[in-house]
Amino acid sequence: MYPETGDWALGVCGSFGQTTANSVIGEADLVLAVGTRLGPADTVNENPAMIDPTRQTIVQIDVEPKNASWTFPSDTVVIGDAALALAQITQAVSAPSADTVAARKAALDAARETHGFFQDPGYDSDDEPIMPQRLFKEILAATDQDALFTCDAGENRLFMTHYFQTKSAGSLRMPGIGAMGYALPAALAAKLIYPDRQVVAVSGDGGFGMAINAIMTARDENIPIVSVILNNSALGWVKHGQGNRTINSTFADMNFAEIAKAMGVNGIRVEKPGEIGAALKQALASGQPTVVDVVTSFEPSFRDVTSPLAAG
């Protein structure tokens, strides 16, 4: 894995990924797929504009044999540990010339510029309620280089996938599509494994409500995670998908910061963009479980982060 702040980063690919990643992969003549089934979500419903075995050479590395050529026929399949296989490939291939590296870097830079790599006006938005992009920018600014993040299922996960620019490899953990309530227990486990690293759980108000009992565990066992809630009083993905016929997808306004205080942990309510940074720094410095309840806008939709390739 590679940090998305790196000079060679493309971002996440797939249905809700970066256009830069989808475009560069689609133009490649060789695709090296490591630890992925190349499933529908990763390949925009197997769109041939992104992955096409008739015009691309596909090399697949996976520890699970059943994943080999599961969705696309691979020209070469390697069953084994990814780290070992990649190390052996590195030893076997010749290093490209400096001119080749420079040309590839120039092409990548051009693609990132063309497709607006992690460029969105929402990152600097002062709108109220708060835009998710602005929240993610503030989270990255407030956290350490090696901070760990867990995110929940739902529309907040799609926003994290698309807008959250990781600054260290392997720092973001997320569930499958329907695993609401994942972020909090995953954060508890991460903090127990890595006690010296900052651990931040990011969830929507729906997912947080499903796993709120994890806050009691954090309190009782003194596990100082920070929980950040995108609180838009809705099941965003569901409600946006329902359009004008909404059914059981809208919540009453809920102040989770006050609920957290009643449970015996720190709670901070954030309603203005200018308050985000200070709230996060306070939460991270407290050394105690802390819930940061951020009132976010319902205006952004999963459609805003859906790949243009999905329209086909």
What is the residue extent of each domain of the chain? Answer: 19-114, 121-305
The residue type found at 156 is N
Q: What is the mean pLDDT of the chain?
A: 96
What are the tens digits of pLDDT across the range 128-162?
999 999 999 999 999 999 999 999 999 999 999 99
pLDDT at 283: 98
| pLDDT tens-digit series, residues 110-129 | 999 999 999 999 999 999 99
Tell me which architecture the domain covering 121-305 has in CATH: 3-Layer(aba) Sandwich (3.40)
Q: What's the burial of 236, exposed, middle or buried (CB within 10 Å: 0-12/13-18/19+)?
A: buried
Gap between the Cα atoms of 145 and 140, Å rounded: 9
Tell me whether the CATH fold assigned to 19-114 matches the one assigned to 121-305. yes
- Residue 231 scores a pLDDT above 80: yes
pLDDT score at 133 = 98
Nearest to 200 by CA among 143, 130, 153: 143
Residue 312 confidence (pLDDT): 57
DSSP 296: B
pTM: 0.95
Tell me, what's the pLDDT at 89?
93
CATH of domain 19-114: 3.40.50.1220
Over residues 209-218, the mean pLDDT reads 97
Per-residue pLDDT of 6-63, as tens digits, reads 999 999 999 999 999 999 999 999 999 999 999 999 999 999 999 999 999 999 999 9
Model confidence band, residue 1 (pLDDT cutoffs 50, 70, 90): confident
Measured from the Cβ of residue 225, the count of other Cβ atoms closer than 10 Å reads 29
Confidence of residue 220 (pLDDT cuts 50, 70, 90): very high
**Helix (H), strand (E) at residue 113:** helix 98-114
In the chain, % of residues over pLDDT 70: 99
Q: Is the pLDDT of residue 177 over 80?
A: no
The yes-or-no verdict on residue 176 having pLDDT over 80 is no
- Residues 50-94 pLDDT 10s: 999 999 999 999 999 999 899 999 999 999 999 999 999 999 999
- The span from the CA of 71 to the CA of 75, in Å, is 13
> Does residue 311 register a pLDDT over 80?
no
Residues 6+ positions from 101 with CB-CB distance below 8 Å: none
The pLDDT, as a whole number, for residue 262 is 98
For residue 37, give the 3-state DSSP assignment: coil
